[in-house]
Amino acid sequence: MTSQKILTYIISRKLLNFRRLIEKQNLAKVSRRISSVSIRRIELSKRVNAVNILKHSAENSPYYQKTLPDLIQNLNRKNVFSILRTLPFTTSADVSENSEQFLAVPKSKIVSIHFTYGTTGNKKTIYNSKNDLSRLNYSYVLGFINCGIDSSDIAQMVYSYGVWALASHIQDALRTIEIIVLPTGNYMNFKGQKKFIEEFGTTVIFGTPSYVYNLAKEIDLPEKSKETMKTIMMGGEGLPEHRRKIIEERLGGEVFLNYGLNEFGGGIGSECKAHCGYHIFPSNIVEIINPQTGELIEDGEWGELVLTSLNREAMPLIRYRTGDVSRIITGECECGVKLPRIDYIRGRADDRVIIGAAEKYYPIVFDKLFDSMKEVQDYWIEIIREDERDTMQVYILSKNGSKDLEQKVIDKLYTLDSIKVDIETTKTLNKPQIIIVDKLPNNNIKRRRLVDKRKFKP
């Protein structure tokens, strides 16, 4: 047996031990072991798994068969990371164009598929084998344990039970550690959600930040329910810091954010009790690149997040460009966990819109602006070109539309100096058009709140 095979065997035995402890519900011991894993051991297992996944992809995935075999001829544990950094990127467009070409196992080994649309709206089919689901399940469980969730909890799932399968994957993982799940989804109205929280004594809520934020704003929970609430687990979008405070104040419990990617089956990393970015699970390799040049950038600098999955056999993705903007956080986390960290996602590389005199805006700028206005439930901004200038068409979702509110929104936008200057001084921006609506024109494009509709983009 080669040393690669021996190490692969040892790593799989260690994982098996972890799983046995979880199945015996010995979660405290699992938690202690997570904290005590050394950087060296994480690094070694990553190197071993990276060699295995690159070879597996080169041999079995029709997409990677075209490029990888020549590039990984001299691959070994020592050079695997430096070789990885030279491999071509995989893009979202490659996957949506033909998802099946990424399949690296026979179709008969596929036990589940889910779909993701991303911000471009093109469908990607994601294939999972039995092993993929099992690994995904345990990585979720480890994330839960790291946030202090245990079998005494009652979880309310306010994620959508839709085609992206996240809710059902989380539900399966919760069942593994014997947690009752209330599958209310996001179809029930807020009053209905509140009834469930009160009646069953919900201790954990799982949902997207925007849904949970609206839930927190709309319902008034009795003190008793707030005291019972332990954890709010959220993912799928970013969360401005002030929204975290409002959610914790109004629902009780401690907010934990997760970062996931449907193309990887879900969980990529999660916050720990220190709430300082996401610890990346050992099943992924993270790189940060300059989105324009594709070159790697220094730790600590912001750029596009690129991920390689180390444990997905059905549909491995090598150097996948996520489009999300983040950075590596250097130094040790005060929680003691040695897994590397990335910062909260600042936006999507393709979400950033240049408006007026070359000022770049992420949607989060407007989240902060409108959150402080009680009358504004949500917003949607389209940038169009009129009379040689940019115009912001600002759709405001509100129950009580009035000329007064329109003026308030304009005043609020003027509090951004860059917008005020572009309208009054550089005259590159027209006065914003405010449109009060009872339904947003969101075209089902996920997360995007700021849409560039100009023909010629700056």
> Are 105 and 249 in contact, with CB atoms under 8 Å apart?
no
Distance CA 22, CA 9 (A): 20
Question: Mapping DSSP to helix (H, G, I), strand (E, B) and coil, where does residue 90 land?
Answer: strand
Q: Nearest Cα to 31, choosing from 126, 196, 141?
A: 141
Which is nearer to Zn ion, 102 or 344 (by Cβ)? 344
Shortest gap between Cβ of 272 and Zn ion (angstroms)? Answer: 3
Which is nearer to Zn ion, 35 or 152 (by Cβ)? 35
Distance CA 337, CA 108 (A): 38
Q: Interface with Zn ion by CB under 5 A: which residues?
A: 272, 274, 333, 335, 337
Distance CA 318, CA 230 (A): 37
Shortest gap between Cβ of 337 and Zn ion (angstroms)? Answer: 5
Distance CA 409, CA 396 (A): 9
DSSP state of 376: -
Shortest gap between Cβ of 279 and Zn ion (angstroms)? Answer: 6
Interstrand relation of 359-361 and 328-329 (parallel, antiparallel or unpaired): unpaired
Shortest gap between Cβ of 331 and Zn ion (angstroms)? Answer: 11
Which is nearer to Zn ion, 75 or 272 (by Cβ)? 272
Which is nearer to Zn ion, 208 or 270 (by Cβ)? 270
Question: Is the Cα torsion angle 257, 145, 284, 171 positive or negative in sign?
Answer: negative
Which is nearer to Zn ion, 340 or 356 (by Cβ)? 340
Helices and strands (DSSP H and E) totals, the chain:
16, 21
Shortest gap between Cβ of 193 and Zn ion (angstroms)? Answer: 30
Question: Mapping DSSP to helix (H, G, I), strand (E, B) and coil, where does residue 304 land?
Answer: strand
Q: Which residue has the tokens 């405070």?
A: 245
Which is nearer to Zn ion, 198 or 254 (by Cβ)? 254
The DSSP result for 154-218, as a single string, is EEEE-S--STT-HHHHHHHHHHHTT-EEE--TTTS-HHHHHHHHHHHT--EEEE-HHHHHHHHHH
Which is nearer to Zn ion, 335 or 440 (by Cβ)? 335
